[in-house]
Chain A
Amino acid sequence: MSSPLLLSGATAILPAAAFHDLFALLRQEGFQPVGPTIRNGHLVLDCLDGPDGLPRGWTTEAEAGRFRLQHRQDTAYWGFNLGQESWKKFLFPARLPVVTAAKHHGAISYAPAANHVPPYAFIGVRACELAAIWIQDRILLSGPVIDPHYAACRQAALIVAVNCTEADDACFCASLGTGPAATAGFDLALTELCGEGGHFFLVQAGSERGERLLAHLPQQPVQEGQWQQAQTLVAAAARSQTRSLATDGLPGLLYDRTEHPQWDDVAARCLSCGNCALVCPTCFCFSMAEETDLENVTASRWRLWDVCHNLDHSYIHGGWLRPSSKARYRQWLTHKLGAWLDQFGCLGCTGCGRCLVWCPAAIDLTAELQALRKFPPKE
């Protein structure tokens, strides 16, 4: 998975002018396209009527603690990288009704919430996000308990991946082998070629469904130069990444350093606001909230995104396991980059960089891990 080279397989060239046909085809097949768009001046994921809804001609500047949208010189559809929101928004919603209960003549009846899941077509899933979905699949589909909403949404969804041809300052997928090229887990993958040679998408099919869709699109054969151009762009996106996360020694390294002075250092900067975990595309913690009516005869239960940076997340009978910011940040990082490996056989990080971009305090987990690698000075 570490090669930034593109997959071979069913490939074709789709002229940018025919991008509308892909959306029309998806709609015809019953899918609701969702993807990046600009709402109220912000990059979000939302329903798309067609390619005109995409942030065409925009780019992103993302670094630790700072994010900006900027106009581009060209009219590329995919000249931006990640925003705050990930596909978790749809697959593992922030607020989901679970069950309602009603008391009638002393008997209590329960009704599971009927959550309608539309068949989404996720448009513009980046390689690091495919990796995040792969991780959440392991947790929510392959564990002892299956999340029914996730399973239904996942099964119905079609994925159109987009290979990154540029990287943001926050990206470090190349060091984790999760990007910038999509290698698996998609139906179609696009690489955008936008320059003097014209405006095209190199399209690859990653599934039978993708191949079938591709066959219905007004395609052209791939020219040798176009293939080379796509390869070069994606390889450059990998090379341009300045951040990296070295995984050697994990998870033991973190287990051995629970008392490292770096935890105090980061706790002094950490706001315990939970933003890192909330924007993380793999974090899946939740809490349950109940609401009753005034008469106390009906109750509803909701599942809400929760984070280990909240005090109540560590509440057990008699008290809280993690009262300090230090204990909470240590829990988050040690789980993400350590215990996750023991628990799920993979890291909890895909190198998307959201946790460091959307941290108001600009805490960068790659720098924190680097600092933790250094042994504390001997007393």
Chain B
Amino acid sequence: MGKRLKVAVWKFASCDGCQLSLLDLEDHLLALADHLDIAYFLEASSAVTPGPYDLSLVEGSITTPADAKRIKRVRQLSKLVVAIGACATAGGIQALRNFADIKEYIPVVYAHPEYIKTLDQSTPIAQHIKVDLELPGCPINKYQLLEAVKALLHGRRPRPASESVCTTCKRQGIICVLVAEGVPCLGPVTETGCGALCPAYHRGCYGCFGPKENPNTSALAACFRRLGVAEADIIRLFRTFNAGAEAFRQESLAHEKNH
């Protein structure tokens, strides 16, 4: 048995789905147990070992003043911080608040707004602390997580995956839903990682893994317009789980002006 990593798994504003990806690595869990000491992982165990930690996996976005403080503490306790999932890397679906005025809707939603202490923006972890690696996705791909752990264990760089979802579709023989069915699909501007799950079932890509490197969102929006997609729907396409990712945010704002 070689090197062991003392690991902490943290939750911020999120649905827990990305943390679960770690437990979903069923076939690899026993082997992982030989290499990882799970020191802090409340989703899996209430037993907690105090820091410092070799590796912190951080799920969720920062949406409250308390969390903005807590994430700083996580950084202090951790040698390496890996942000996992769309919430941690782009603010998540809750970043829809970034396009609204929270003072307007808090009184509508909550009976006692005075109890609500929240920030007006949902922001990714890297906006608050230095992040060593980001794994995108809603949820993350558990095999990308495993690859990251392997790379950290053995001191190499994780394999990059800077490609469009289209690359995955074509390699897997999935016929293009945008071209062959006229379905609006974010695949050409989205980072691959999901295995092209939605196009395989005749659905357009929802952009769960966020903008790929060099995303030409305005050219894709022009394709959507040719398909007859209304401006309001183009805004919705870019405003889902990665609404706060800069390229998607800018594109949705551009259509707000036209809408």
A and B interact = yes
**In whole angstroms, how far apart are the Cα atoms of A69 and B213 in the complex?**
33
Q: Smallest distance from the beta carbon of A275 to chain B beta carbons, Å?
A: 5
Task: Give the residue of B153, B160, B163, B189 whose beta carbon is less than 8 angstroms from that of A296.
Answer: B153
A100 within 8 A of B: no
Interface string of B149-169 (1 = CB under 8 A from A): 110011000011011101100
- Asked if residues A358 and B153 are in contact (CB atoms below 8 Å), the reply is no
**Cβ–Cβ < 8 Å partners of A270 in chain B:** 216, 219
Interface string of A267-287 (1 = CB under 8 A from B): 011111111001100000000
**In whole angstroms, how far apart are the Cα atoms of A42 and B160 in the complex?**
31
**Cβ–Cβ < 8 Å partners of B179 in chain A:** 65-67, 84, 357-360
**Cβ–Cβ < 8 Å partners of B178 in chain A:** 360
- Asked if residues B173 and A85 are in contact (CB atoms below 8 Å), the reply is yes
**CB neighbors of B among A317-356 (8 A):** 323-325
A-B contacts counted at CB < 8 A amount to 123
Stretch of B28-36, B86-94, B128-136 lying at the A interface: B28-36
Interface string of B81-122 (1 = CB under 8 A from A): 000000000000000000000000000000000000000000
Stretch of B40-48, B220-228, B237-245 lying at the A interface: B220-228
Closest to A305 in B: B171
Known: A271-B188, A296-B153, A360-B223. A325 touches B214 (CB 8 A): yes
**Cβ–Cβ < 8 Å partners of B203 in chain A:** none
Known: A83-B175, A294-B28, A296-B150. A274 touches B223 (CB 8 A): no
Known: A65-B226, A294-B32, A360-B223. A272 touches B167 (CB 8 A): no
B255 within 8 A of A: no
Known: A44-B175, A294-B150, A325-B214. A361 touches B222 (CB 8 A): yes
Stretch of A117-125, A132-140, A148-156, A306-314 lying at the B interface: A306-314
**In whole angstroms, how far apart are the Cα atoms of A228 and B166 in the complex?**
44
B187 within 8 A of A: yes
**CB neighbors of B among A180-211 (8 A):** none
Known: A268-B219, A271-B219, A294-B150. A89 touches B214 (CB 8 A): no
**In whole angstroms, how far apart are the Cα atoms of A293 and B154 in the complex?**
11
- Asked if residues B170 and A310 are in contact (CB atoms below 8 Å), the reply is no
Known: A271-B164, A271-B188, A273-B187. A278 touches B170 (CB 8 A): yes
**CB neighbors of B among A219-238 (8 A):** none
**In whole angstroms, how far apart are the Cα atoms of A38 and B45 in the complex?**
50
B145 within 8 A of A: no
Most chain B C-beta atoms within 10 Å of own C-beta, residue among A69, A275, A362: A275
- Asked if residues B219 and A68 are in contact (CB atoms below 8 Å), the reply is no
- Asked if residues A278 and B167 are in contact (CB atoms below 8 Å), the reply is yes
B202 within 8 A of A: yes
B176 within 8 A of A: yes
- Asked if residues B31 and A294 are in contact (CB atoms below 8 Å), the reply is yes
**Cβ–Cβ < 8 Å partners of A89 in chain B:** 173
**Cβ–Cβ < 8 Å partners of A69 in chain B:** 180
**Cβ–Cβ < 8 Å partners of B189 in chain A:** 271, 273
Closest to A272 in B: B214
- Asked if residues B226 and A273 are in contact (CB atoms below 8 Å), the reply is no
**Cβ–Cβ < 8 Å partners of A85 in chain B:** 173, 175
Q: Smallest distance from the beta carbon of B228 to chain A beta carbons, Å?
A: 12
**Cβ–Cβ < 8 Å partners of A291 in chain B:** 147
Q: Smallest distance from the beta carbon of A113 to chain B beta carbons, Å?
A: 17
Task: Give the residue of A84, A292, A361 whose beta carbon is less than 8 angstroms from that of B175.
Answer: A84
Q: Smallest distance from the beta carbon of B38 to chain A beta carbons, Å?
A: 15
**In whole angstroms, how far apart are the Cα atoms of A294 and B180 in the complex?**
41
Closest to B182 in A: A66
- Asked if residues A275 and B180 are in contact (CB atoms below 8 Å), the reply is no
**Cβ–Cβ < 8 Å partners of B182 in chain A:** 66
Q: Smallest distance from the beta carbon of A258 to chain B beta carbons, Å?
A: 20
- Asked if residues A275 and B176 are in contact (CB atoms below 8 Å), the reply is yes
Interface string of A233-276 (1 = CB under 8 A from B): 00000000000000000000000000000000000111111110
**In whole angstroms, how far apart are the Cα atoms of A290 and B132 in the complex?**
22
- Asked if residues B160 and A312 are in contact (CB atoms below 8 Å), the reply is yes
**Cβ–Cβ < 8 Å partners of B172 in chain A:** 94
Q: Smallest distance from the beta carbon of B183 to chain A beta carbons, Å?
A: 11
Closest to A304 in B: B171
**Cβ–Cβ < 8 Å partners of B146 in chain A:** 294
A215 within 8 A of B: no
**In whole angstroms, how far apart are the Cα atoms of A357 and B175 in the complex?**
12
Task: Give the residue of A44, A67, A268 whose beta carbon is less than 8 angstroms from that of B173.
Answer: A44
Q: Which residues of B contact A (CB under 8 A)?
A: 2, 28, 31-32, 34-35, 146-147, 149-150, 153-154, 159-160, 162-164, 166-167, 170-173, 175-176, 178-180, 182, 185, 187-189, 202, 213-214, 216, 219-220, 222-223, 226
Q: Which residues of A contact B (CB under 8 A)?
A: 40-44, 65-69, 83-85, 89, 94-95, 268-275, 278-279, 289-296, 304-305, 307, 310-312, 323-325, 357-362
Q: Other CB < 8 Å A-B pairs besides A67-B176, A273-B188, A358-B179, 10 of them?
A: A85-B175, A268-B216, A290-B159, A294-B35, A325-B216, A360-B185, A360-B220, A361-B188, A361-B223, A362-B223
Q: Would you mind naming 26 contact pairs between A and B with Cβ atoms under 8 Å apart?
A: A44-B175, A83-B175, A84-B170, A84-B176, A84-B179, A94-B170, A94-B173, A268-B219, A269-B222, A271-B220, A272-B216, A273-B164, A274-B163, A274-B166, A279-B170, A289-B159, A290-B159, A293-B150, A294-B34, A294-B150, A305-B170, A325-B216, A357-B179, A359-B179, A360-B188, A362-B223
